[in-house]
Structure 1
Amino acid sequence: MTAVDLSPQMLHRLAEKAYALGLSDRVIGVRADLNDGWPALGTIDLVWAAASLHHMAEPDRVLAGAFDALRPGGLLALTEMDFFPRFLPDDIGVGRPGLEARVHAALSPAPAVDWTDQLARTGFVLEARRPFSVDLAAPLPPAAARYAEVCLRKLRSHLDEQLPVEDLATLDALLDSEGPHSVLRRDDLTVRTTRTTWAARRP
């Protein structure tokens, strides 16, 4: 298996995990930015793209690269989130209730992309399109709190002047890892979103 990623940190984590599982001889990491074109990987049987295509500057060109890399009959499995995950209860015990809803409303996210047409234009034959609900209830393991913190911090970086000062202060309190209201200290976090997976084959 060859894993392609732009992040050296992610590739390092992959190598550590493969080593721990005794799979180092079967897992290869390749650092590449697919916006610059596909690396030379040879002909492959399966391309698995998870929550990555929406980051591409020219998704159609990346899909064309996947099509060219696959052998005839090879499969592309593409998964994307339909909306950014939600983590918090309506009333978090600090600030006004409904903070997370206001955060998402302020950012006015674009509607989820249906990649069906792009896949067909590229030459793929769609075999399946399936939505999946993600609804993880509290209590969750510590990794979920770290995930929530990363996601909320990303949202916070786009919110200056988009929310009232009170809401920004509440969000900053949640993201203060040493503070009493830190999201890392909460035991009521959930993970709520939906994902869609497309399976498409090169004829």
Structure 2
Amino acid sequence: MTHTHPQTSPPGHHRHDVDGQAEILDLDAQVLAEHTAALARWLPVQEPPGRIVDLGCGTGAGTFTLLDRFPGAHITAVDISAGHLQRLREKARARGVEEHVRTVQADLDEADWPDLGAPDLVWASASLHHAAHPDRALRHVHDLLPPGGLFAVVELSGFPRFLPEDAPEDRPGLEERCHEASSRLHAEHVPHRGADWGLKLVEAGFAVEGELTVAVNIPGSDNKAVGAYALGSLQRMRRSVADALPAEDLAAIDRLLDIGGAHSILRRDDLAVRTERTVWAARRTA
């Protein structure tokens, strides 16, 4: 985020991988647009923020949702990927809002952050769990905001599910086994996924004003991008869990990924995006 909004990329990331990741982020934004907008509407803002920072912005899902919600705002979009930021700038020009968007390439794990201005609102969606030092990042945000400033942290419960539990017919439960393998890998490499962000925010000096969990269940029949989203997501998951699954499961995944084959995931009419998203709204009080 991955889920699909990673704040960092592995060293030596190839251009093809970056492009593929950007495409997944764009599909994620398209499929989850209504849910993201609902989270933005829920934010307990006291007045429309004039300046916003989007941390780990990816290709701009949060940036443009926030601009739709607060059209007068100016947003500083921060990400480690130059390619993602370039795509975000292109979107801003296409939408005619480039004067409202500034991009900053930065690694949120660095001890010193670049100048991000004086925001009224900081938004971090599916980015903090990728940080090696999230507690330090939270303290950075606390120091960045003025008293009364709002910090919104959005996280997913995990990688989305797309297939029914009894699918595919030749290897029922395949997706769940992939998730179990992925969770074992993430426990080692992304230890902060699933953290208690409410507690971490309090420890960083924030007052948590609200927490909202939204269930996501989007049938493929309601959104034509779900098939492409499922395909791209499963391709990325296959690469990450290839060494942790038996050959029979890998063969079943490959049949799903063969877009020209009879078992292609794009031929299924039972796909859906199922996950949960939680947002914490925290305020700097002093």
- Could you state the TM-score of these two structures normalised by the residue count of structure 2? 0.65
Runs of 5+ consecutive residues of structure 1 not aligned to the other structure: none
Cα distance per residue 1:57-96 (max 9 Å; x no partner): 1000111111111111110000001122100123445522
> Which residue of the partner structure matches residue 137 of structure 2?
62
Higher strand content, 1 or 2:
1
Q: Is contact 2:220–2:227 with CA below 8 Å preserved after alignment?
A: no
Instruction: Indicate the residue corresponding to 1:171 in structure 2.
Output: 253
Pick the aligned partner of 1:112 from 194, 216, 240.
Answer: 194
Partner of 1:27: 101
- Provide the C-alpha distance between the structure 1 equivalents of 2:224 and 2:80, rounded to a whole number of angstroms: 26
* Residue 12 of structure 1: how far off its partner (Å): 2.2
Matches within 5 A, 1:184-195: 184-195=266-277
* Contact preservation (8 Å) 2:220, 2:226: no
Is the 2:85–2:105 Cα contact (8 Å) retained in structure 1?
A: yes
Contact 1:94 1:170 in 2 (8 A): no
CA distance change for structure 1 residues 140 and 170 in 2, over 3 Å: closer, same or farther? farther
Larger relative contact order, structure 1 or 2 (CA cutoff 8 Å, min sep 6) = 1
Task: Provide the aligned length of Structure 1 versus Structure 2.
Answer: 203
Give the fraction of aligned pairs with identical amino acids, expressed as a percent. Answer: 51
Q: 1:146 aligns to what?
A: 228
3-state SS of paired residue (1:65)? helix
Supply the distance in 2 between the matched residues of 1:142 and 1:174 (Cα, whole angstroms).
18
Q: 1:31 to 1:140 in 2, by over 3 A?
A: farther
By how many angstroms is 1:142 displaced?
4.2
Q: Which residue of 2 aligns with 1:127?
A: 209
8 Å CA contact 1:95, 1:167 repeated in 2: no
SS in 1 for 2:202: helix
Structure 1 stretches (4+) deviating beyond 6 angstroms? none
Which has the larger share of helix?
Answer: 2
- d(CA) in 2 for partners of 1:28, 1:166: 48
Structure 2 spans left out of the alignment, 5+ residues = 1-74, 188-192
Which of 62, 65, 71 is the equivalent residue of 2:146?
Answer: 71
Find 2:86's aligned residue among 2, 8, 12. 12
